[in-house]
Structure 1
Amino acid sequence: MRAGAGHAPVAADGCLAMAAGPKDPAGRFGPFGPGRTAKPVQSVKSALPADPAQAARPGKSAAPAGAAVPRQRPRPDKATRRRLRRRVRVAGVAIDPMTETEVVDHAVAALKRGEGGHIVTPNVDISRAVARDEALRRLVEGADLAVADGMPLVWAARLLGTPVPGRITGADLIWSLSEAAAFYRYPIYLLGGPPGVAEQAAVRLVDRYPGLLVSGVDAPPYGFEDTPEGYERIREAIVAAGPRVVFVGLGFPKQDRLIAALREELPGTWFIGCGSAIAFAAGAVRRAPEWMQRSGLEWLFRLLSEPGRLARRYLVDDLPFALRLLTVCLFKRLFS
């Protein structure tokens, strides 16, 4: 076993070595934390099949050609679950008015019942895509929880008189849900980012939360979803690892289509479509200072950091959409 300075020990086979679980940090997890003990879960080594032809399990057919990632399948109890929650509709997207702590508590309570789910974090870019594509709208609506990752959506909800508590990003949830997973010994899986980034994110998460079980990490090659073999390799690796929480950082809608395809095989697992959160957690990409996050200027920080990649998305596509959204909401507030 080898260990780097300041990092969790890493076994010779590449698996992260985990320490004993921590105590509940000051009752962070509300009614689901203090005084509760979870049984240890064995960490599972994850590896993609060396031969794609070996990826398909007996009795399981690969995704059909031209549709490597199947469409989302409806869950029978979805309507019942939604009626139990009050959602706020902003820019055509139904948002759950929850705090980050409430999201974590909701997921933990479901995990204790053996139930999984899907968290989507709509921002301006996702809202713009949903407004133009009915299939993407259904994809977002099919998630168990939708929380606002974007201050324009928070501001729009306030203007409409249906405020949400605040912004909740995938970059925040990767830490808070991992903290809860460490306490309850629920193994997590990190999927996304360039090669090596998910591994580094796992090391940093374990450094922060000793006892966190990382059942696998993976960096799918570009275009993996275009072939049945590419999708099947990812599916096999995740199912074999058996995680209870999976962070999928492949960007919308790719990550959420993959989540929709995997949920039936892992019904007791929570999937979080988290965009760049894995890269943020790894330290490969810097996040904006907190004051910029709070004031809705994180997009500007990212634009200045990666102008070539983000200029069109932010300045040509998202900014006009956000301004129109806020203008419409203001008029509704003033004249309705």
Structure 2
Amino acid sequence: METLRIRSFVEPMTPSYEDLSREVFGVLGIPIDNIGLVESVQRLHTAVERGVPFLLSTPNVNFLISSQTDEAFRESLLSSDLCTVDGMPVVWLARLLGVPVKGRVSGADIFNDLKFGRSTTQRRSIFLFGGADEAAANVGKTLNSDSMGLKCVGSFNPGFGSVEEMSQTAVMDRVNTAQADILGVFLTARKAQNWLLYNHNRLTATVRAQFGATINFESGKVRRAPALLRRIGFEWLWRIKEEPHLWRRYGADGLSLLRIVVTRVLPLVLGRHWRHIVSSKASDLTITIENDVNMIRVSLSGSATEAHVAKAITCFERLFDQGNPFVVDMAEVRAVDPRFFGFLLMVRKELRKRNETLAFYRVSPALRRIFRLNGFDFLLQPNR
């Protein structure tokens, strides 16, 4: 397994504070945007028009499992400007935890919408990076002859090297010289996400996304599962039929997912904390800001739930305007729900743009358990 040095983003991936207003939920350690296909594609077009770097991630079960053990992979999701759910099992788990996910928005769906130009009259340029053999080059030719929404301005298959080898100057120059609006990456999920994170400040394409198996669907090498199977969550069976070697990955991911359900999801749903969240939806959250000698202390008291995110956004925007370091006192927090975890992830993202960290203190053992069950115990570690 490759060990990568995680680079903090120097350039903001979206205009300041916009991340705080995203409707993001924290689900088992990763961010999930509650957004549909049309709005997702529109955000990509808006990013292109602004010329602001925009990282799209589409978490599925494999993403969820990989993020539990691969810090660089998890960081690529936490640093993303949009995380849509690609996989019905993740949709179901999110809904079980009370997250009102609108539905599945896969990378293939987004690529398809872009290809047909359904959301804009502008034809976007795209560079295709990865894919087996000459798949990317062939798909590029097809796009240029048939697509109303995408124009391929280059393609490159980097082979099977490491992330560092795929990040050599000659490779990056080839990608950047094309001056594409969109960079579509077609490597394995782990390698693609880590490569995008590793090279964030070197890439010039505005929108960057790992579209995974989409290249195989577009090239005709693999047939995509029928819509019914995708909708009822059995796309994985179709994928195994089309690509038998995938059974090992799906089997391993399935066992890992079962372990997460038993050890974390069920305790959350059935435990006292979940009942407390449900009963405390209307409970208040008090946010107190105090100036200490060396930094600002932000004390939260009450229920940190969805009902109070708007209030929290206003307070933290004021803190960011002041530009002083701060710590978050959690001593009086009784409950944290997925929506507030999502907000905290966006606070962390904003701080990392400034090369700062999100620091909590006075976290009770009971609250630490809630962080752990939700997959966010890493937030309590130093320099995270």
Asked whether the two chains share a fold, i.e. TM above 0.5, the reply is yes
8 Å CA contact retained: 1:201, 1:279? no
Residue 296 to residue 319, structure 1, CA distance change in 2 (3 Å)? same
Instruction: Report the Cα offset of residue 322 of structure 1.
Output: 2.6
8 Å CA contact retained: 2:73, 2:193? no
Give 2:136's match in structure 1, choosing from 195, 198, 216: 198
User: What corresponds to 2:84 in structure 1?
Assistant: 147
Instruction: Report the Cα offset of residue 202 of structure 1.
Output: 2.0
User: Superposed, which structure 2 residues align to 1:311-322 within 5 Å?
Assistant: 311-315=247-251, 317-322=252-257
The whole-number CA distance in structure 1 between the counterparts of 2:259 and 2:237 is 18
Instruction: Report the Cα offset of residue 183 of structure 1.
Output: 3.2
Is 1:82 the equivalent of 2:82? Answer: no
8 Å CA contact retained: 2:116, 2:148? no
8 Å CA contact retained: 1:175, 1:205? no
The whole-number CA distance in structure 2 between the counterparts of 1:182 and 1:203 is 22
CA RMSD, 1 decimal: 2.5
Instruction: Report the Cα offset of residue 95 of structure 1.
Output: 0.7
Q: Which runs of 4+ in 1 moved over 4 A?
A: none
| Equivalent AA in structure 1 for residue 200 of structure 2 | R
The whole-number CA distance in structure 2 between the counterparts of 1:200 and 1:250 is 16
Deviation string, structure 1 residues 145-188 (Cα, Å, up to 9, x no partner): 11111111100111111121111211222221233498313211
User: Superposed, which structure 2 residues align to 1:1-336 within 5 Å?
Assistant: 71-75=6-10, 77=12, 80-180=17-117, 183-210=121-148, 212-223=150-161, 225-227=163-165, 231-267=168-204, 269-307=206-244, 309-315=245-251, 317-327=252-262, 328-335=264-271, 336=274
Residue 268 to residue 216, structure 1, CA distance change in 2 (3 Å)? closer
The whole-number CA distance in structure 2 between the counterparts of 1:263 and 1:80 is 20
| Equivalent AA in structure 1 for residue 190 of structure 2 | P
The whole-number CA distance in structure 2 between the counterparts of 1:136 and 1:297 is 25
> As a proportion of its length, which structure holds more strand?
2
Deviation string, structure 1 residues 260-296 (Cα, Å, up to 9, x no partner): 2443234551011111111111111111111111111
Query: Greater relative contact order (Cα 8 A, min sep 6): structure 1 or 2?
Result: 1
Moved more, 209-218 or 189-198: 209-218
| Equivalent AA in structure 2 for residue 164 of structure 1 | V
Instruction: Report the Cα offset of residue 75 of structure 1.
Output: 4.1
TM-score under structure 2 length normalisation: 0.64
The whole-number CA distance in structure 1 between the counterparts of 2:221 and 2:84 is 25
Residue 226 to residue 106, structure 1, CA distance change in 2 (3 Å)? closer
Instruction: Report the Cα offset of residue 326 of structure 1.
Output: 4.2
Structure 2: unaligned runs, 5 residues or longer: 275-384
Moved more, 295-304 or 199-208: 199-208
Please tell me whether Structure 1 or Structure 2 has the larger radius of gyration of its CA atoms: 2
Residue 200 to residue 70, structure 1, CA distance change in 2 (3 Å)? farther
8 Å CA contact retained: 1:160, 1:329? yes
TM-score under structure 1 length normalisation: 0.72
Residue 332 to residue 324, structure 1, CA distance change in 2 (3 Å)? same
User: Number of residue pairs matched?
Assistant: 267
The whole-number CA distance in structure 1 between the counterparts of 2:93 and 2:130 is 31
| Equivalent AA in structure 2 for residue 200 of structure 1 | N
Aligned partner of residue 213 in structure 1, secondary structure: strand
Structure 1: unaligned runs, 5 residues or longer: 1-65
Instruction: Report the Cα offset of residue 72 of structure 1.
Output: 3.7
The whole-number CA distance in structure 2 between the counterparts of 1:285 and 1:324 is 31
8 Å CA contact retained: 1:205, 1:281? no
